Structure formats: C-alpha cells, structure tokens
C-alpha cells in the first residue's frame, strides 16, 4: 500500500487553514507589471527527475490565461514536466475530467473518474522512472 501524506492541520483546533495559512498572493501585486502575479499550484511531486503538478478546478472551462501560459511554458522546458489540470471536487476527491499540459501544449479535457486520473499519473511516473534508469 502507498505511503500516507496527511495534512497536519486541524481546523477545529487551529482555525480555518485558508484564513490562517494560505499566502496572501495579492500582497505581491506591485512586484510585476500589469495583471501578472503569483499563482498557487495545488500539488507537485518529483519522481526520477520528472515533475508532475496538479491544479484542481471546479469546472471544465478554459484554464485562466495566466495559468495556462505558465503551465505551457513550464512544460516546454522539459518533456519531464507535466501538469494535470483536474476538473472535480477536491473536498471529496472526485474527478470528472482532466487535461494534460505537456511539451508546451495544453490538451483537451478528457472525461475521467479519480481512478483513471490516478492511472494516468502512474503511467507518467513509470515513463519518468524508465527514462531516469
């Protein structure tokens, strides 16, 4: 069985995580020109020199322009960088669809449940480990 990575925050004891711990990225608004600012990425992992990022959305619409450009440009740096943009419910860990940003290109939405998403992530992991060997 896989390793556990439980969040070590207890909202009942420590208060709302979003209010207490989430970065206030808007505080950096004057560091960059125009509407450019930091974005958060929901998850990241390195495996065999490859990187997988996840960004969860509640709807399957267009990825916001700034994030799309970031993900496309990031993944264009190396074929060992993939971003999974997931449409689903993060609270319940339910996936309805995902799109892969890889090799500088954002793919279409692919209907998938959580099990299928995990299979695709594992396939990228296996590919990365094979390339690293």
The encoded tokens of residue 18 equal 């979003």
pLDDT in tens, the chain (133 residues): 456 656 676 778 887 766 776 788 888 888 989 888 888 899 999 998 999 999 999 999 999 999 999 999 999 999 999 999 999 999 999 999 999 999 999 999 999 999 999 999 999 999 989 987 6
In a domain, 34, yes or no: no
DSSP string, 41-102: -SEEEEETTEEEEEEEESS-SPPPHHHHHHHHHHHHT-TTEEEEEEEEETTTTEEEEEEEEE
CA distance 95 to 75: 22
In a domain, 117, yes or no: yes
Can you name the residues that pair with 106 across neighbouring β-strands?
A: 101
In a domain, 94, yes or no: yes
130 burial level (CB within 10 Å; 0-12, 13-18, 19+): exposed
As for how many domains the chain has, the answer is: 1
In a domain, 27, yes or no: no
Predicted TM-score of the model (pTM): 0.84
Q: Which domain holds residue 85?
A: 39-132
């Amino acid at each position: 069985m896989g390793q556990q990575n439980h969040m070590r925050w207890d909202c009942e004891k420590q208060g709302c995580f979003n209010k207490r711990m989430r970065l206030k990225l808007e505080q950096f608004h004057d560091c960059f020109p125009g509407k450019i600012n930091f974005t958060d990425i929901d998850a990241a992992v390195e495996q065999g020199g490859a990187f997988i990022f996840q960004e969860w959305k509640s709807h399957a619409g267009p990825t916001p322009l700034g994030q799309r450009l970031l993900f496309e440009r990031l993944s264009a740096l190396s074929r060992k960088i993939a971003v999974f943009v997931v449409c689903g419910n993060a609270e319940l860990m339910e996936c309805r669809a995902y799109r892969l940003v890889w090799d500088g290109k954002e793919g279409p939405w692919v209907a998938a449940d959580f099990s299928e998403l995990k299979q695709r992530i594992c396939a990228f992991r296996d590919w990365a480990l094979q390339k690293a060997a």
